[in-house]
Every structure is written in structure tokens, then in C-alpha cells.
Structure 1
Amino acid sequence: MYPRLTRTLLAALCLCGLGACSSMPSASDSLYQQLGGKAGISKTVTMFLYQVVDDDRINHYFAGVNADRLQKRLTNQFCQLSGGPCHYGGDNMHKVHAGMHLTDADFNALVEDLILAMEKRRVPISAQNRLLGKLAPMHAQIVGK
């Protein structure tokens, strides 16, 4: 049904499980650099948020959210997760999503929107998979809370 999504999610899950066994990339091969540094991550997050706003499956969850604040927090979160010099100072994912009762379908829609934003920014698939692998463990902190 979604071959690209399936491929990417499977790769992300594999990366998540095998991350401890693989060697660390060199500085020039860092995920942070592959994502374009903080400026590239910020552009990707902005595109991602535009995708979410246009996504009728999940955009209602973002009604009333301060978009500038969310953009800055997600940029810092992705930057930190990718090995960049940023610090995510927001709440943990469990607290942020408490009482929302999000489903796997909601989570998957968000992932699809992130993938579309990364594709539009021409982020290499290997970098997409590595970032998704860093984000995948958050599923348990978000879905059903």
C-alpha cells in the first residue's frame, strides 16, 4: 500500500535495533551534516509542519499550537538527536502527548509527513532512515497516552 513508507519504517526499525552494533559515522558523514546542519534541519521541520497542517488525518491535533515555538523545539530536538550542537529543552514525549490518545494511524501519518518533507528537501534516504531510527523509540511514549 505504501511501499516507500514500509521500506523506510522497516529500515528505521532495523537501524534502531542495530544502532549499537554499527560503527559511528565520521564527522563528515554525520547525520547532522547529512541533514544540512541546523539550517537544513530547520527548513525540513518547516516543510514538515506545512505537511502536517495540510494533513486532514492529524492537523486537528495541532489546532491552537504555537507554530513558531513548535518549529524551534522540533528543530532543536532533531538537531540534538542527529548529533548536532543543539539542546532540546522541551518536555518529554510522554508529557507532551498525555491525554491525546494518539493511535498508530496518527503516528504513521506524522511519519509519512516527515518523510515527504525530507524527500522534498532531497535528504538522502540513508539520512532519512537514520533520523527515523532515532525517532522510532518515541512511539511508545506517544501512542495511546
Structure 2
Amino acid sequence: MEQHVFSLEEANALIPKLELIMGRLQQRVAELRRGIDELAQQTGKVAGDLTSSEIIELRPTLRPAIVEVEQLLGEIEECGGEFKGLDLGLVDFPTEINGEPAVWCWQFGEKEIGYWHSLHEGFAGRQPLSERRARATYLQ
């Protein structure tokens, strides 16, 4: 299946939905982290070493949070965005800039997309749109 190439307007139109998803995702992950940390203390294991199935087996009350996190990540994917991590709250959207593959880079809390980067640069290579807007031809 061919990947959708987003115009800036298409990607920006998804931000209100993404803000809701990411807000809920952060809440549920915080709940999970607390529960997993408690479980790790009780079992003497390192929290990061516990598998999902171990967590569910030892603490079945965490199952709904795990399921919801998976569903929320699926919703981001269904939008066409690529979830890049919860700590920074990043979602990338495939695009083309000057005929080259790139991504619009949105961070939770930003009201609109203000950055882009090439496929290989990642978050550290984010460039403000304002610097490129005059020179770049990207999909509108």
C-alpha cells in the first residue's frame, strides 16, 4: 500500500484530533508506569524487563490501560501519522519538500505544524517552516 503524502494543511487539520489522542495516551501511560513500577517493586524485577503478558497476568487491572494505549496508537496510525515517541509527544507526517521525501514534524502542545525534517534527520534535524517557506515548494 502506498503511503499518503500530506500537504501541510492536511496534516494541520489532524492536530485537534491528535491533541485529544496524545492527551489521553499520556494519561494512560502514566497510569501504566505507576502500576508497572509498583509491580516491579513487588516482584523484585526491573520494570522495563516485564513483558505485557507478565504485567497482565500479575496485575490484570492494568489490562484495560494496555488495550487503550494500543488502540490510541492505532488511531494515530489510522490518521496517517507515524508515532515517534511519548516522551517528546512526536508525530511525523510523510510529505515531499522540493521533490524529496520528508516529514512534517508535530510535537504535542504545538497548535500547528511549524517544523519539518528529512527522513534521515529526525527530531534533532527539525527545521522551522518559516526559514524554508520562501524557498521550498511543498505540497499545500
Q: Which has the bigger relative contact order, CA under 8 A and spacing at least 6?
A: 1
Higher helix share: 1
Q: Where on the TM-score scale, by shorter chain, does this alignment land: which range?
A: under 0.3
Structure with the higher strand share, 1 or 2: 2
